[in-house]
């Protein structure tokens, strides 16, 4: 691969908006295992949030995708491949980026933390109600009079 071709591929990978219109690869091989990447991303995205039981699976997939992305970019940077292979690697990297963007946009649902927040808010409302009902005022309302 010529130096200018390598630079073009690296610039294409690093370009803002490179993932716009890009497709998530149907499958991808990561550390010797084939992952049905598109199906995995769509399955998780359908839920809109990551349930606690799936959080580890999603985080592991994201770590593996990031690692695979780095390895593929390094192969291009080190000029270890032909231009055709480099083009295929660049396409795959952009697809990985698209999958990572989709997975990073998901919200994690931490049911325990949400329950604790709800309970704290309930206690605060209850305490405020009792103070008002019993005629106790807080310091800020006494200072206004």
CA angle 66, 79, 69 (to 5 degrees): 5
CB 127 within 8 A of CB 138: no
Domain that holds residue 71: 3-109
Mean pLDDT of 62-89: 92
- pTM here is 0.67
Helix (H, G, I), strand (E, B) or coil at 77: helix
Looking at the fold, whether 87 and 118 belong to one and the same domain comes out as no
More confident residue, 116 or 110: 116
Average pLDDT, the chain: 83
The C-alpha atoms of residue 92 and residue 69 are separated, in whole angstroms, by: 8
Looking at the fold, whether 67 and 15 belong to one and the same domain comes out as yes
State pLDDT tens for residues 21-66.
Answer: 788 888 888 878 888 888 888 888 787 677 677 788 888 888 999 9
Looking at the fold, whether 115 and 77 belong to one and the same domain comes out as no
Looking at the fold, whether 78 and 23 belong to one and the same domain comes out as yes
Percentage of the chain modeled with pLDDT above 70:
85
Residue 143 has pLDDT above 60, yes or no: no
Domain count for the chain: 2
């Amino acid at each position: 691969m010529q130096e200018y071709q390598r630079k073009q591929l690296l610039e294409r990978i690093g370009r803002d908006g490179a993932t716009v219109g890009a497709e998530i690869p149907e499958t991808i091989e990561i550390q010797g295992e084939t992952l049905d990447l598109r199906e995995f991303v769509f399955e998780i995205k359908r839920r809109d949030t990551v349930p606690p039981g799936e959080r580890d699976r999603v985080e592991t997939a994201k770590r593996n995708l990031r690692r695979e992305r780095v390895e593929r970019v390094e192969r291009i940077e080190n000029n270890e491949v032909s231009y055709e292979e480099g083009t295929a690697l660049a396409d795959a990297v952009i697809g990985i980026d698209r999958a990572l963007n989709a997975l990073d946009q998901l919200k994690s649902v931490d049911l325990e933390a949400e329950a604790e927040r709800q309970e704290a808010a309930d206690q605060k409302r209850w305490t405020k109600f009792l103070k008002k009902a019993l005629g106790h005022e807080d310091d800020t309302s006494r200072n206004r009079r």
